[in-house]
């Protein structure tokens, strides 16, 4: 099965719907984690790190834009409308990616948790890299081509978060304890990233992406390997404690995120900004 263009894809209703569904997951995942990252701007533990982290967030939001543009091509509407005007229930990102960085807001009393940022980003970048490697073989060629391009920016992200993860896990007891708490928290919702949602079978049978099970195993293997490096074990499988975002289940944190993200755009979605 190969779809070289959107015209070819649109002839196959099942593949067309499954592709759109997959693209929303990809776009929304990147969009939300990049947004949460951008809230850290100016507040990171170290000024040099602030600059580095911001580049990662720009890259990631840039990837979301690419997916939104693919959706735009597929007739879903303007990329800016898709990112700013959809109802929170229409978002397909995993719940763990929408969650606040900590208590407070980016403007007031931000009690942000750097351990949570490190763990969430590292686990996500592992999942994202595995997903992209699979998408390189996608039957929808415009997506396969895009995956290859996006993958080229992932190496730095992985190097960056792996380094933070390893160093903090291997430092003071306080840091270790904070990191372990963050791992458990992210773990209990991370299945939300690894699941392909209700259209999973169609995505798989149309060869848009590899099998969910297989990708999940790859992720577990990768995570186990870094856990071994830092002498850590966890005895349960990742969960979806706060809901399945692929089905439109979300937390209040998403409402909060989207109202901030769209505050200005909503004033007038038609005008030129």
Partner 1 sequence: MLEMAQSLTEEEKYHRFMERIEAGERIEADDWMPDDYREALIRLISMHAVSEIMGALPEKEWVPKAPTLHRKLAIMAKVQDEMGHGQLLLRVAEDLMKPLGRNREDILKDLFSGKLKFHNVFHMKAPTWGDAGIIAWLVDGAAIITQSMSLNSSYGPYARALQRICAEEVFHAQHGESIILALTEGTEEQKKMIQTSLTEWWPALLMFFGPRSKENVGKSHVNKNIKYKIRTKTNEDLRQEFFNKYVPRIQSIGLKIPDETIHFNEEKGEWIYEQPDWDEFKKIVTGHGPMSKERLELRTTSYENTAWVRDALANRNVKEAY
Partner 2 sequence: MNNDFYEEYEVFSKRNQMAPFQHQFSLLAPNKEMAMVMAKENFLRREPCVNIWVVKKSDISSLGEEERVILNRLDNKSYRETKGYGYLKKKWREYEQEQFTEKNLLK
Q: Is 199 in the site for partner 2 (CB under 8 A)?
A: no
From the list partner 1, partner 2, none, pick the one residue 160 interacts with, judged by a Cβ distance below 5 to 8 Å according to partner type.
partner 2
Helix (H) or strand (E) holding 29: helix 13-39
Minimum gap (Å) between residue 12 Cβ and partner 1? 29
Other C-beta atoms within 10 Å of 240: how many? 21
From the list partner 2, partner 1, none, pick the one residue 57 interacts with, judged by a Cβ distance below 5 to 8 Å according to partner type.
partner 1
Q: Is 7 in the site for partner 2 (CB under 8 A)?
A: no
Q: Which residues bind partner 1 (CB under 8 A)?
A: 35, 38-39, 41-48, 50-51, 54-55, 57-58, 61-62, 64-65, 68, 79-80, 83-84, 102, 104, 106-112, 114, 167-168, 170-172, 174-175, 178, 260-261, 263-265, 267-268, 271-273
d(CA 158, CA 167): 14
From the list partner 1, partner 2, none, pick the one residue 172 interacts with, judged by a Cβ distance below 5 to 8 Å according to partner type.
partner 1
From the list partner 1, partner 2, none, pick the one residue 170 interacts with, judged by a Cβ distance below 5 to 8 Å according to partner type.
partner 1
Q: Which is nearer to partner 2, 160 or 246 (CB)?
A: 160
CA distances from 186 to 37, 67, 174, 237, 245 (A): 15, 25, 18, 12, 15
Q: Which is nearer to partner 1, 65 or 220 (CB)?
A: 65
By CB under 8 A, name the one of 72, 76, 85, 156 that touches partner 2.
156
Residue 126, CA atoms < 13 Å, CB-side half-sphere: 23
Do the Cβ atoms of 24 and 89 come closer than 8 Å? no
Minimum gap (Å) between residue 55 Cβ and partner 1? 7
- Residues 32-71 binding partner 2 (CB under 8 A) are 46, 48-49, 51-52, 54-55
* Cβ contacts of 95 within 8 Å, gap of 6 or more: 189, 192, 240, 242, 243, 244, 245, 249, 250, 251, 254
Which window, 72-80, 106-114, 155-163, 237-245, contacts partner 2 (CB under 8 A)? 155-163
d(CA 120, CA 94): 12
Minimum gap (Å) between residue 46 Cβ and partner 2? 8
Q: Is 160 in the site for partner 2 (CB under 8 A)?
A: yes
Other C-beta atoms within 10 Å of 85: how many? 15
d(CA 89, CA 247): 8
For 172, the 3-state DSSP assignment is coil
Minimum gap (Å) between residue 40 Cβ and partner 2? 14
From the list partner 1, partner 2, none, pick the one residue 156 interacts with, judged by a Cβ distance below 5 to 8 Å according to partner type.
partner 2
243: phi then psi, degrees, rounded to nearest 5: 110, 165
Burial of 169 (0-12, 13-18, 19+ CB in 10 A): buried
From the list partner 1, partner 2, none, pick the one residue 178 interacts with, judged by a Cβ distance below 5 to 8 Å according to partner type.
partner 1
Task: Name the site residues for partner 2 (rule: CB under 8 A).
Answer: 46, 48-49, 51-52, 54-55, 156, 159-160, 163, 167
């Amino acid at each position: 099965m190969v779809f070289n263009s959107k015209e070819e894809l649109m002839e196959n209703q099942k593949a067309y719907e499954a592709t759109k569904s997959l693209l929303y997951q990809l776009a929304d995942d990147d969009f939300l984690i990049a947004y949460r990252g951008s809230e850290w701007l100016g507040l990171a533990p170290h000024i040099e790190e602030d600059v580095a982290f911001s580049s990662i967030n720009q890259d990631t939001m840039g990837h979301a834009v690419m997916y939104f543009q693919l959706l735009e091509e597929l007739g879903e509407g303007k990329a800016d409308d898709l990112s700013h005007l959809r109802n929170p229930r229409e978002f397909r990102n995993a719940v763990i990616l929408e969650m606040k960085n900590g208590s407070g807001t980016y403007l007031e009393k931000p009690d942000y948790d750097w351990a949570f940022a490190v763990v969430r980003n590292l686990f996500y970048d592992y999942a994202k890299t595995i997903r992209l490697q699979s998408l390189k073989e996608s039957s929808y060629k415009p997506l396969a081509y895009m995956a290859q391009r996006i993958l080229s920016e992932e190496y730095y992200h992985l190097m960056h978060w792996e380094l933070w993860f390893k160093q903090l896990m291997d430092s003071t007891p306080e840091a270790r304890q904070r990191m372990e708490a963050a791992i458990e928290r992210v773990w209990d919702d991370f299945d939300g990233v690894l699941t392909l949602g209700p259209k999973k079978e169609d995505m798989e049978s149309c060869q848009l992406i590899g099998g969910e099970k297989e990708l999940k195993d790859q992720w577990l293997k990768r995570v186990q390997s870094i856990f071994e490096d830092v002498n850590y074990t966890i005895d349960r499988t990742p969960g979806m404690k706060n809901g399945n975002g692929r089905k439109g289940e979300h937390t209040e944190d998403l409402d909060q995120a989207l109202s901030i993200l769209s505050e200005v755009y909503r004033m007038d979605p038609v005008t030129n900004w």
